[in-house]
Amino acid sequence: MIDRSDYVIFYVTNTQNGGAFKAMQYALKKKKEIVNYSNLKIN
C-alpha cells in the first residue's frame, strides 16, 4: 500500500516496536510524503 501511495497518513507515537512506526520508517525510506497526526496540536 505504501509503495502505491503518493502520501501516507499515520498516527504514530514514540513506540519504536510497533507496526505503525515500522511502516512510517518504510515510507520515509521510500521518500513518501507523510502526515503524522500525533504531532498535530488541536486546540
Tell me, what's the pLDDT at 42? 66
Residues 6+ apart with CB under 8 A from 16: none
Q: Which residues contact 4 (CB under 8 A, 6 or more apart)?
A: none
> Residue 22 is placed in which grid cell?
515500522
Note the pLDDT of residue 38. Answer: 85
Contact 26, 1 (CB under 8 A): no
Distance in angstroms (rounded) separating the CA atoms of residues 12 and 30: 18
Specify the pLDDT at position 39. 72
- The helix or strand, by DSSP H or E, that contains position 36, with its residue range, turns out to be strand 33-36
pLDDT at 22: 93
Q: pLDDT (tens digit, 9 = 90+) per residue, 5-43?
A: 999 999 988 778 889 899 999 999 999 999 988 877 666
CB atoms within 10 A of CB 2: 13
